[in-house]
Amino acid sequence: MKSRVISSCVLVPVIVGTALYGGFPFLAVVLIICGISAWEFGRIFDHHDGIRTPLILLVLSVMLLILARYFIGIAASHRTLTFCIMAAMLCGTVLCEKEVPKSALSFVVLTTGMVYIGWLGGYMISLRQLPDGAVKFLMVMCMVWINDVGAFTVGKLFGKHKMFKIVSPKKTWEGFFGGMAFTMLISMLAHTILPPVRATVSMQQILILSAAVSVSGPLGDYGESMIKRCYGIKDSSNLIPGHGGFFDRFDSCFFAMPVAYYIFELIQYL
């Protein structure tokens, strides 16, 4: 717990500060988060499945997708994804020609990593680029953090009914709904006392957003847990003391950020 608190005291100010500042500092933070997460993602399969994925290509492709999202926007960045997938296929073909074992699976890992981390992770950039993007991004990030704390606390105290006994045996339905309730209550409080939040969304909108994040965030966490459970590992790496790896820490964001982005598109009509 001490390590988790110390790591959080470093990570949280960096993320909050760069999100507020925006520009290249925020871009750099997202590049680091997604680049390292991509390396950890590919490394899981390489170490445990005997695949020789060119991790440098995976990391560079993910970072290229993040840069495309920043400089040319979501409407045009799909072109970058198209060429990255084609490059992954070419790489797999070359590996096969060199008789590298399981080269087809290398293509699968490359493509999945690009879409999972590069494309979904890019929504951190897209969300920040919306009008009032700093407030919106930080609202979603705080909701993810609050949901984690609420679900852990309620699950620890009252959890009895398992959600996914194999994928994530410590997660319970009580923790899931407790995290959602906790997130919605704190969001309502934030809307009441924080003018920037109140100026950005209505009470109805923040309730919709907090409920959506409370569902999508845990789904991202369960997805990564599924991968780790298949290979019998606890953490994607040990780069963040007390938290594991970047992939472990930000897996919820890879689902919550895209959902929040489209929620913000929809709630403007409510």
Could you read off the pLDDT of 86-128 as tens digits, one per residue?
999 999 899 889 888 888 888 999 999 999 999 999 999 999 9
Describe the crossing of helices 203-231 and 23-49 by its angle, rounded to 10 degrees. 30
Q: Which phi and psi (to 5°) does residue 170 adopt?
A: -90, -10
**d(Cα 135, Cα 137) in Å, to the nearest integer?**
6
List beta partners, residue 38.
none
pLDDT of residue 101: 82
The mean per-residue pLDDT over the stretch 206-222 comes to: 95
> Does 243 have pLDDT greater than 80?
no
> Does 133 have pLDDT greater than 70?
yes
Q: Which phi and psi (to 5°) does residue 68 adopt?
A: -65, -40
Q: Report residue 169's pLDDT band, with 50, 70 and 90 as the boundaries.
A: confident
Q: Report residue 2's pLDDT band, with 50, 70 and 90 as the boundaries.
A: low
Whole-number average pLDDT of the chain: 91
Place of tokens 């009008």: 131
Q: What is the largest CA-CA distance in the chain?
A: 63
Least confident of 19-23, 198-202, 227-231: 227-231
Residue 97 in tokens: 């020609």
**Quick one: CA dihedral 96, 99, 101, 106, positive or negative?**
negative
Q: Report residue 179's pLDDT band, with 50, 70 and 90 as the boundaries.
A: very high
> Does 47 have pLDDT greater than 80?
no
> Does 231 have pLDDT greater than 90?
no
pLDDT of residue 235: 84
Specify the DSSP element, H or E, that contains 169. Answer: strand 168-172
pLDDT of residue 103: 87
237 near 244, Cβ under 8 Å? yes
> Does 242 have pLDDT greater than 90?
no
**d(Cα 177, Cα 215) in Å, to the nearest integer?**
9
pLDDT of residue 140: 97
> Does 241 have pLDDT greater than 90?
no
pLDDT of residue 98: 86
pLDDT of residue 24: 97
Q: Report residue 198's pLDDT band, with 50, 70 and 90 as the boundaries.
A: very high
3-state secondary structure of 162: strand
3-state secondary structure of 233: coil
The mean per-residue pLDDT over the stretch 201-229 comes to: 94
pLDDT of residue 102: 83
Least confident of 34-43, 132-141, 234-243: 234-243
